[in-house]
Amino acid sequence: MERTEALLADGRQIIWYDADGTHRVPSVDRRPLEPSVVMSQMRHDPLTGEWIAVSSARQNRTYMPPADQCPLCPSRDGRMTEVPSPEYQVVAFENRFPSFATQIEGVITENDGFEQIRPATGRCEVLCFTSDHNSTFAALTPAQARLVVDAWADRTTYLNELEVVKHVFPFENRGIEIGVTLQHPHGQIYGYPFIPPRAYTELMHAAAHRQAHGRNLFGDLIAFEQAGPRTVASNEEWLAFVPFAARWPVEVHLYPLRRVHDLSELDEAQRDAFTLIYLDILGRFDRMYDSRLPYIAGWQQAPAPDPDNPDTTALRDEAWLHLELTSIRRGPDKLKYLAGSESGQGAFIADILAEPLAARLRDLA
């Protein structure tokens, strides 16, 4: 993999990733953009202990442009986009409308009782999987998908080293039902200034499992699911299964059989094997109904290393990288909405048992 860095017209960073060096010649971004200024803040919820990011600039982000106006396509025929080159393989750049940024303007830290405010320091990036506007991740070749994995790993390494980042979360939203505002195949990477609730909960339960049983929770879970009725697919390096207590109408988790803490630690064999099993699972998702499944694919990985924080180090020691893939579609023309119980109390009510869902996904191979 080769990488080429540059700056966009407003000062944001952009990085091209190439497997063979054929698309490494960027053009100068000549758009008349003002320097990027981010004024996001975080507010503390005293009832849950969580930090809520507030980013009013996101109200102005591009929404469902026609294909010939897509800002994620290459810059061609005199039309400049977010990617100032006539072609690319994989590209990452700082989000133009971020929730978190390394430099925040005009926000002062306050710690006044119920009114606790912090600047929303961190990082938000866009990762374009291909220059082909009409493609999807499932349509990538194994070589193309492998380059995306390499880019995820590289961005994880880079973001983990930023002082303001405490946890790196690469993810993809696909489908207008999910709320996607740009149809070009792409994902995002959030560098949070805290460990987000889902990751923190999983790691805390892993720590409790270690204390109770002296073993790693994720390793025990893999051993439990490997030969069970919820396994969907496997290869020499990865296991894909429907979790026993799946929340979503379609939900599959993918684990490497050999433990790594984050994407940067995956070796060559693990990266190659992941691309094959992931493309397989995405293909099954697309064959469930007459139209493609909307989904969210999110990587759960260890918090950023923090040698001065023993609590973070303890959580990182328990982490086991895995991908959680979920869809809200519960039928050909039905979606699962997070209504009273889910939204009001965070108490999920599932629509299907895990075992028949896994059986159906196996049949779609």
Q: What is the pLDDT of residue 56?
A: 81
Alpha helices of 97-164 — where are they, by DSSP H?
142-160
Q: What is the pLDDT of residues 36-70, one digit of tens each?
A: 899 999 999 999 999 999 998 777 777 788 989 99
Sign of the C-alpha dihedral computed for residues 363, 141, 330 and 234 taken in this order: positive
Tokens of 262: 């984050």
Q: Which pLDDT score, from 0 to 100, does residue 24 have? A: 62
Q: What is the pLDDT of residue 78?
A: 87
Task: Determine the Cα–Cα distance for residues 315 and 259; give it in Å rounded to an integer.
Answer: 15
Tokens 């923190």 locate to 200
CATH class as words, domain 2-193:
alpha beta
Tell me which amino acid residue 220 is: D
Q: Residue 32 has which token pair?
A: 């008349």
Q: Which residues contact 344 (CB under 8 A, 6 or more apart)?
A: none
Which structure tokens are listed for 193?
Answer: 């200034």
What are the tokens at 152? 């995820």
13 phi and psi angles, rounded to 5 deg: -80, 145
Query: Please, where in the chain does CATH 3.30.428.10 lie?
Result: 2-193, 198-363
- Contacts (Cβ under 8 Å, ≥6 apart) of 29: 6, 7, 8, 9, 80, 84
Residue with tokens 């697309």: 286
- pLDDT recorded at residue 57: 74
- Are 328 and 210 in contact by the 8 Å Cβ rule? The answer is no
The rounded distance, in Å, linking the Cα atoms of 217 and 220 is 5
Check the CA dihedral 104-107-111-116 and report its sign. negative
SS (H, E, C) 194-214: CCCHHHHHHHHHHHHHHHHHC
**CATH code of the domain occupying 198-363:** 3.30.428.10
Assigned token pair, 333: 């023309």
Pick the catalytic residue from 23, 167, 184, 186: 186
Does 186 participate in catalysis according to the annotation? yes
- Paired residues of 116 in beta bridges: 111
Q: If we measure between CA atoms, which residue out of 185, 181, 186 comes closest to residue 62? A: 181
* Residue segments in the chain with a per-residue pLDDT below the cut of 70: 23-25
Cα angle: 24, vertex 168, 348; to 5 degrees: 130
Residues 125, 100: Cα–Cα separation, whole Å: 10
Alpha-helical runs (H) found in the chain: 142-160, 197-213, 217-225, 268-287, 310-318, 340-345, 354-363
